[in-house]
Chains A and B, each alone.
Chain A
Amino acid sequence: MIRAKTRAMTHPAAWLLLSALVLAACVTINVYFPAAEAERAADRIIDEVRGTGGTEEQDTTSRLPPQALPARFAAAVADFLVPAAHAQDRPDFDASSPAKRALEQSLKQRFPQLKPYYDSGAIGLTARGTIEIRDRSLIPLNERNRVRQLVSEQNADWEALYREIARINGHPEWEDEIRQVFADRWIAKAESGWYYRDAGGQWRQK
């Protein structure tokens, strides 16, 4: 009996079934962060805020490491096993909410006021999905306090947007990952001449 059981468990079909069950269980609680979807959503929001609609030169190369094969396989199996029932639980980074729309609108309205300072190098992109005054000397003296205020408001909106996207998707704990995706995509999509902080915190010019 013992031998028979053991043999049964070593049968490939039994393993597959077990794996599938485990994977299905995994998927229902959705613990993996869907970085590729987040990237695409970030790109759309960034284009919207900049009012570019993605027409200008873009770096379309993903900064994500290629997803490990087992994980992709797991996702495929999971999609197959839990097609409809859990579909609504899966994150949708394009899902809208009044808060998200309000924040996007506010970011979009403020962006043209900030654009000249991105272009001059006075402000740059941080590695935390925010902006920072990089070189005050590039801002006329009488505009410095206004730029400080604009930067402070824009950053407050970005932080709130990252929090809201995580909240809509039912995963407040994703806020950091979402922020990171936006940080990377902003840098990837920065116009030539803009400044950004690299992973080591040093300013670099695109």
Chain B
Amino acid sequence: MGALRRCRSGGLAICASLICLVSVALQPPAALAAAGFTVAVDAVTGAGWSADGIELRILPGDGSGDIAASVRVERLRLPEPVGELRDVTLRCDTVAIATAEAGYRCERGRAVAQRSPLDPEAFSLAASYRPADGRLILELPDLPWQGMTLRVSAQLADDGWTAAVEGADLDAATVYGALAATASMTSTATTVPELEIAAGTAGFRLRARGEDGGAIRIDSRITLRDLSLANTSGSLAAEGLDVTLEAQARMPEPGGRLDYTATLTADAGEAYVEPAYFNLSASPLTLASTGGLDLAGGPVRIDSFLLDHRDVLAASGEAVLRRGEEPAVARADVEIADAVFPGVYTTYLQGFLTGTPLAKLETRGRVSGRVRLDDGGVAALDLALDDLHADDADGRLAIYGARGRIAWDVAPDAAPVSSRLVWDGGFVYDAGFGAGTAAFSSTPDRITLQETLRLPVLDGALVVETFAASGLSGDEPAVEFDARLEPVSLAGITTALGWPALPGKLSGELPLLSVSEGAVTLGGSLVARVFDGTARISELRIEQPFGANRRTSAEVALDNLDLALVTDVFTFGRITGRLDGAIRGLEMLQGRPVAFDARFYTPADDDSPHRISRRALSNISEIAGSGTAALSAGFLGLFEEFRYDSLGIRCVLEGDICSMSGVQPAQQGYYLVKGSGLPRIDVIGHSRQVNWPRLVAQITEALKSREVSTSPQSEERR
């Protein structure tokens, strides 16, 4: 009876149960067994299992002292995932009966069980039972389970139990199907993602040990080779993946908390965990971790992890992960020992930056430091940059040789932290800048420039005296800004734009900067002393500075330029006199003008000599679409220069159409040049609507013809 009690408490699996029954039945004197008999039992129940319609048959042995035995159970109900089995028969051809100390042994057993009449499953078994200490040992070398063959062994004793399951060279898809079926049957809080496994083999070794007091220890090793899989949406996928997982776990009580130590190694193939992409053949990774979780639900606690992703990232730390339909990081403290660019950018960062100006960078360099994450993303960071280079493939921005420290902490009670960044140079669109240093102090809601930032631009510099952005957690941060542009040679700017080198310098005060709805507006103005006059750019506003549809608007005013100096540079044909001008409502899309109202004209109070060369007249006439034949005909051909009263042009650009007008209306058209004296030449424009791209092409052509020709024929073609 003692044996029966132990059997009930230890009902582990089908075979264990049956061998238990046999051993109970064999408690009577061996002599009786030698003669053979049959015992029928209606039902036996235990914790979590029951057997109905049991028939035990003891058959006479072959005379060597051993006997044969068989047990048949009509219906055996075992805990999931095994479930209900019908017509279970177990036959042992060699049952050794020894003393109570040595116990009983079934050496060549054979069992047949079926889940349905059409699907019988037969397997071998060997078992022994020793009543003295209640030790039951079970070996199932070829147990069929969910279409696979597993090797199972178990040992039950008064002080606990051990069980081992092993499988080798299994089809990964079959293993996954079995696990998913098991998980759904046992309906624990663990959800198995829906995966389609296209290829791969799996092997595993699982050892479990039950201790006195109910604790369970599990020691496992799982290897997956050449695994190809994908989830339904394709956001999770792997190809040719080799993974090894070694894990040890301890459950103080079954189904309760689980503490683990695990090491995952992935050293071949590729994986995509949207939006991160891993090329593991090129950069294998090892992730070692310890932690725990509550099997009934709740977060996963990662007490420590150590990631070694070759040539990409070496990091360690601790974290809490939320489980559920959308697993997420609830909290993480990460110590980055070495983040190597471009590996860390292409693997971990680039996918998250899709659609931003930082999505197409070519990177190089290293970063180390600490990052703290919480529910809302990055909560704090303290990074050291080591010779970091980032270059946008679309040429929008670049920074070279960045080094220093960037720190930020968004905790409400965090003390201000300082950052200091040094760089060798970079670009913002076509504007290159040189080496500089920026020192910032930041609180959760405010970033302040701590010392004057001097950004070399060509032979001048942009000097930022004040920069402070506050309200960073909101949509529209308030910015305090005060900067000035130290004189920059126009020559450098204009040659960078592919224009002739202009004399003069550009400088200015930029006392304000505001950011609103993705647009940056600069207060103040940039002034260039140019051609003995001034050019002033103000109300500069840039929408989507780094977006695909960058829109820039500005107002430009030209005051009292010396036309002689202008035409010397542009080889447009010499003109003397003064010129005023204004470009109102200038709008540019990706650096090309799309709308403006531009006027250039002789100032009313200009009393300097007004002279215009035949070549200039010819060029103006071409632009206006007028003929120039008259200039070379007859006695006019004798004059190289003419006097003029005033000249001017106005173009209102909208779309592709420039609406043209001049200094004043003429009888048919408008005056572009109003002559004076004798011989008097007027240039009258007739085209009111001019195609802007064609006009630009004409002007470019006129400016390009640098070799000043003396031949009237080539000057006045028509």
A62 touches B (CB below 8 Å)? no
Known contacts being A148-B354, A152-B355, is A102 close to B590, with CB within 8 Å? yes
Question: Please, which residue of chain B has its CB at the minimum distance from the CB of A140?
Answer: B239
Question: Please, which residue of chain A has its CB at the minimum distance from the CB of B359?
Answer: A149
List, in ascending order, chain A residues with CB within 8 A of B382's CB: none
Task: Give the A interface residue count (CB, 8 A).
Answer: 24
Does B277 lie within 8 Å of A145, measured CB to CB? yes
Does B656 lie within 8 Å of A98, measured CB to CB? yes
Does A142 lie within 8 Å of B279, measured CB to CB? yes
Task: Return the CB mask of B639-659 against A: 1 if under 8 Å, else 0.
Answer: 000000000000000011000
Does B655 lie within 8 Å of A97, measured CB to CB? yes
Q: Which of B395-423 contact A (CB under 8 A)?
A: none
A40 touches B (CB below 8 Å)? no
Known contacts being A102-B589, A153-B548, is A141 close to B355, with CB within 8 Å? no
B123 touches A (CB below 8 Å)? no
Contact among A102, A103, A137, A144 for B592, CB-based, below 8 A: A102
Q: In whole Å, how far is A75's beta carbon from the nearest beta carbon of chain B?
A: 25
A30 touches B (CB below 8 Å)? no
- Whole-angstrom CA separation of A142 from B277 in the bound complex: 7
A82 touches B (CB below 8 Å)? no
List, in ascending order, chain A residues with CB within 8 A of B586's CB: none
Question: Please, which residue of chain B has its CB at the minimum distance from the CB of A163?
Answer: B549
B272 touches A (CB below 8 Å)? yes
List, in ascending order, chain B residues with CB within 8 A of A36's CB: none
Q: Which of B563-619 contact A (CB under 8 A)?
A: 589-590, 592-594
Known contacts being A142-B270, A148-B275, A160-B549, is A136 close to B655, with CB within 8 Å? no
Does B354 lie within 8 Å of A157, measured CB to CB? no
Does A144 lie within 8 Å of B274, measured CB to CB? yes
Q: In whole Å, how far is B588's beta carbon from the nearest beta carbon of chain A?
A: 9
List, in ascending order, chain A residues with CB within 8 A of B279's CB: 142
Question: Please, which residue of chain B has its CB at the minimum distance from the CB of A99?
Answer: B589
Does B234 lie within 8 Å of A136, measured CB to CB? yes
In this complex, the interface size class of chain B, counting residues with CB under 8 Å from chain A, is 20 to 34
- Whole-angstrom CA separation of A161 from B87 in the bound complex: 73
Q: Could you tell me the dominant secondary structure of chain A's interface residues?
A: helix
Q: Which of B645-678 contact A (CB under 8 A)?
A: 655-656
List, in ascending order, chain A residues with CB within 8 A of B234's CB: 135-137, 139, 144
List, in ascending order, chain B residues with CB within 8 A of A153's CB: 355, 548
- Whole-angstrom CA separation of A132 from B275 in the bound complex: 16
List, in ascending order, chain A residues with CB within 8 A of B549's CB: 99, 103, 156, 160
Does A98 lie within 8 Å of B355, measured CB to CB? no
- Whole-angstrom CA separation of A141 from B234 in the bound complex: 9
Q: In whole Å, how far is A120's beta carbon from the nearest beta carbon of chain B?
A: 13
Known contacts being A142-B279, A145-B275, A145-B351, is A160 close to B594, with CB within 8 Å? no
Does A145 lie within 8 Å of B237, measured CB to CB? no
List, in ascending order, chain A residues with CB within 8 A of B272's CB: 141, 144
Does A95 lie within 8 Å of B355, measured CB to CB? no
A180 touches B (CB below 8 Å)? no
A81 touches B (CB below 8 Å)? no
Does A136 lie within 8 Å of B237, measured CB to CB? yes
- Whole-angstrom CA separation of A57 from B534 in the bound complex: 60
Known contacts being A102-B589, A136-B234, A142-B270, is A168 close to B655, with CB within 8 Å? yes
- Whole-angstrom CA separation of A80 from B458 in the bound complex: 62
- Whole-angstrom CA separation of A156 from B239 in the bound complex: 32
Known contacts being A97-B594, A156-B548, is A145 close to B354, with CB within 8 Å? yes
Task: Return the CB mask of B226-244 against A: 1 if under 8 Å, else 0.
Answer: 0000100111011100000
Q: Report the 5 A-B pairs with minimum CB-CB distance, sorted nearest first.
A: A136-B234, A152-B355, A97-B655, A141-B272, A137-B234
- Between A and B, 22 residue pairs with Cβ closer than 8 Å are A95-B655, A97-B656, A98-B693, A99-B594, A103-B549, A136-B230, A136-B233, A136-B274, A137-B230, A141-B238, A142-B270, A144-B274, A145-B354, A148-B275, A148-B354, A149-B354, A152-B355, A153-B548, A156-B548, A156-B549, A157-B548, A160-B548
Known: A136-B235, A148-B351, A160-B549. 12 other contacts (CB 8 A): A96-B656, A106-B548, A136-B233, A136-B237, A137-B234, A141-B239, A141-B277, A142-B270, A144-B272, A145-B350, A152-B355, A153-B548
- Which residues on B are within 8 Å of A, measured CB to CB? 230, 233-235, 237-239, 270-272, 274-275, 277, 279, 350-351, 354-355, 359-360, 547-549, 589-590, 592-594, 655-656, 692-693
